[in-house]
Structure 1
Amino acid sequence: MKNRTIFLSVILASTLAFAGCTGAKNTANSKSSSTPPPSKIAAKNGIKAFDKVITKDARKDEGVFTVYEQDGKYFFEINNDLLDREMLMVSRIAGVPPGFSGFSSAGSKSAEQVITFSRSKDRILLRKKSYEAIADEELPVYESVRANNFEPV
């Protein structure tokens, strides 16, 4: 149950963060992208082609990732150059009802986390990184810190 709550929190935080990025434009030249257009990628190992999964009636929202909403499901189009890159996700409270709390107000930060998207075979993994315990790579305790701070998927 705890893992499900964490997973739903990450999805909610990601959705809120990506919704706030819709005003940002990609300044990089679109031809410099190393990924071919989604419709040109052939299905491999049972993975469906992009145009077979996302239809023309899907709602599209562009930002850091392109998010598609179709039949109540959300799909992220993540460029390869964004994989394995650390991203800071900050959740903020959009609004509170009158008399809710003297300590919470609209715009207040509610959560912060560093995440990465990584590829494992035909899946994309979302990992939460932790920097609560760190050690320099030169120190003997580094291996213990790394082994005891597993990044959950």
Structure 2
Amino acid sequence: MTTTGRSPAGDALTDLILTLFRANNLVLTWGDRLVAPFGLTSARWQILGAIALADRPQPVAWLARDLGSNRQNVQRIVNDLHKEGLVVFEPNPHHRRAQLVVLTARGQQAYEAALNAYNPTADAVGAEFSLDDIRTAQRLLTTLREKLQGEADGPD
């Protein structure tokens, strides 16, 4: 099998992506440990956050879109959160079948407990880097995400 070579930018991007894969796995493991005392996982915490930070109640498909995830995975986790009493489904006046997902008081408490555990840890880890470096990395990752999203959406 013959492979084509990459440019220096392609090599650097590949290194960045491989580092992102490794960092993502570590962040998820770290997050799982951080929120386990509250009956959460990183995935459940992420979805609770999307619900809590939304301007208004949203259906699962919208939550999935905002998270950059697929609807089926988000639906499975939302169903688990519902079984545990952390979210409820409410009627959607705009769509009969796509119910709105809303945090319960218990879900809000779990989300806030996770944030209270996260905030001092984020401050401590963040203090290891310059604010400029963090903001530069965030801009780069945002641009990469937007580029990849454009690729995933296909041609207009």
Report which of the two has the higher share of strand.
1
Give your verdict on TM over 0.5: no
Query: When the two structures are superposed, what TM-score results if normalisation uses the length of structure 1?
Result: 0.29
Larger RCO (CA under 8 A, 6+ residues apart): 2
TM-score by length of 2: 0.28
Q: Which has the higher helix share?
A: 2
